[in-house]
Amino acid sequence: MKSHVVQKSVLLCSLSCISVMAQAYDLPTVNLGMTSFLDGGLPAGTGWYAQTYFQNYDSDELVDAQGNKLGLPKTDLNYQVLVEQISYLSNVRLGDHASLGMNFLIPFVSKMDMDDGLNQMAIKSQGGFGDIMIGPFVQFDPIMGAAGPKFVHRIEFQVNLPTGDYSSQKDINPSNHAVSLNPYWAATYWFNPKWTASTRIHYLYNFKNDDPSYAFSGADEIQAGQALHANFATDYAVTPQFRLGLNGYWLKQITDTEVDGEKVKGRKEKVWAIGPGAMYSFSPNNHVVANAYFEQDAENRPEGTRMQVRYIHHF
């Protein structure tokens, strides 16, 4: 009899938490802190680049619209992502001061652990390949000063394609199962030859997912809301090869998610993060960047710690 009561309590808690998950966590994976120092320009001019990112994310707080932890025995989330990016900056000129280029990214979630304290009865997750991201860009020539570059920037029209692993029976997937547009503007400003500040500002527009999660019982489609997100960083060249600095990111959903065309309140996501970073240049063609981010004030998403290493090679 006691065992039956325990099982019934676990089931009720599971159903309650699924209801909570159905009220949030809609936005696709976006660039939160993947890029940081000297982001306004490619480091070695025209040609091919390969960039490899490894990111580890840890969170024990999955929070609701008020920033409170979900009512589960545990909310421990850990995942590791490997992203490969191929970039090409061409010799094709756009006017007198810019060149055309192309970016291609493919992420792979090599590890996804979600411990809800209920053997994933409330929150189900899976790893696998994420959505391919493709983006033509315009790289503007640096504006030079007396002691070197003063300002450089880039505009990219990034499109995320729903090519990754997705299951409507999972709450957390590598893919969002919907096309999204994520254009951005990136820029770097030199205060002096050693001290720079950089930013990358994105706008996110999501199209419809026509196979929504089981949490949306009976729904035919879900359309995540629009969002703004940005990376920011400042660094100082301790030596010509070694830079130290601060880096961060910010995300805010600005419109409501829609389910079958109806707006649903209480689902907007937000978070910001800050932490230390470093960059080492082995040569003009080889660089490594390490960043740590500590998230704050999350709503309707996890709040945790993000650690990343990025390697950049120019062929």
Which residue ranges make up each domain of the chain?
2-314
Whether residue 15 has pLDDT greater than 80: no
* Helix (H) / strand (E) containing 19: helix 2-21
Structure tokens at 34: 């993947």
For range 200-222, the mean pLDDT: 92
Residue found by looking up tokens 């810019």 in the block = 98
Q: Do 215 and 22 touch, CB atoms closer than 8 A?
A: yes
Rounded to an integer, what distance in angstroms lies between the CA atom of residue 73 and that of residue 57? 20
- 127-155: per-residue pLDDT in tens? 899 999 999 999 999 999 999 999 999 99
If you average pLDDT over residues 10-32, what whole number do you get?
54
Rounded Cα–Cα distance for residues 113 and 78 (Å): 5
- What pLDDT, on a 0 to 100 scale, did the predictor assign at position 2? 35
Average pLDDT over residues 160-175: 90
- Round to whole Å and give the CA distance between 2 and 14: 18
Residues with Cβ within 8 Å of residue 140, at least 6 apart in sequence: 97, 98, 152, 153, 154
Q: What is the CATH number assigned to the segment(s) 2-314?
A: 2.40.160.40
Name the 3-class secondary structure at 233. strand
- According to the model, what pLDDT value does residue 11 have? 29
Q: Contact at 8 Å (CB) between 257 and 222?
A: yes
**Token pair in block for residue 82:** 């490997």
Amino acid at site 34: M
Cα→Cα distances 117→25, 69, 70, 214, 288, Å = 19, 14, 12, 20, 38
Of the candidates 243, 184, 206, the one whose C-alpha atom is nearest the C-alpha of residue 38 is 243
pLDDT of 254 strictly over 90: yes
Distance of CA 83 to the CA centre of its chain: 11
Q: Mean pLDDT over residues 181-197, rounded?
A: 98
Which residues face 133 on adjacent strands?
A: 105, 160
Provide the 8-state DSSP code for 225.
P
Q: Which residue has the tokens 């970039």?
A: 87
Q: Which pLDDT score, from 0 to 100, does residue 205 have?
A: 98
Q: How many Å apart are CA 219 and CA 210, to the nearest integer? A: 9
Confidence of residue 17 (pLDDT cuts 50, 70, 90): very low
CA distance 233 to 33: 9
247 contacts: CB under 8 Å, gap ≥ 6: 33, 36, 37, 231, 232, 233, 274, 275, 276, 277, 291, 293
Residue type, 249: Y
